[in-house]
C-alpha cells in the first residue's frame, strides 16, 4: 500500500500536534507548517517542518 502523506498547518498546536501523532501512528508521512515546534519538540526527527521561526503577523508579507 502506498504511504500517504499529509501536511498539517498549525501542527504544533494543541489539536494539531495530537493529529500529527495520530497520523504518524497510522504510518502516514507528515509535514508540519507552523511558526513553532510547539508540542512536537520531541518529534523533530520524524517530521518535516516548514515556517518555524517566522512571524506572519510582525514579519509582513514575504
Return the residue of 41, 44, 46, 54 that touches other proteins, per CB under 8 A: 54
Question: CA–CA distance from 16 to each of 12, 25, 37, 38, 56 (Å)?
Answer: 6, 14, 11, 10, 18
Question: Is residue 62 a contact point for other proteins (CB under 8 A)?
Answer: yes
Report how far residue 39's alpha carbon sits from residue 53's, in angstroms, rounded to the nearest whole number.
15
Question: Is residue 24 a contact point for other proteins (CB under 8 A)?
Answer: no
Question: Is residue 4 a contact point for other proteins (CB under 8 A)?
Answer: yes
Q: Which residues bind other proteins (CB under 8 A)?
A: 4-11, 13-16, 18-19, 22-23, 26, 31, 33-35, 50-51, 53-62
Amino acid at each position: 500500500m502506498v504511504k500517504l502523506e499529509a501536511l498539517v498547518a498549525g501542527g504544533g498546536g494543541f489539536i494539531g500536534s495530537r493529529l500529527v501523532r495520530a497520523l504518524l501512528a497510522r504510518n502516514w508521512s507528515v509535514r508540519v507548517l507552523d511558526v513553532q515546534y510547539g508540542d512536537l519538540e520531541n518529534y523533530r526527527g520524524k517530521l518535516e517542518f516548514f515556517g518555524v521561526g517566522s512571524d506572519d503577523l510582525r514579519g509582513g508579507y514575504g
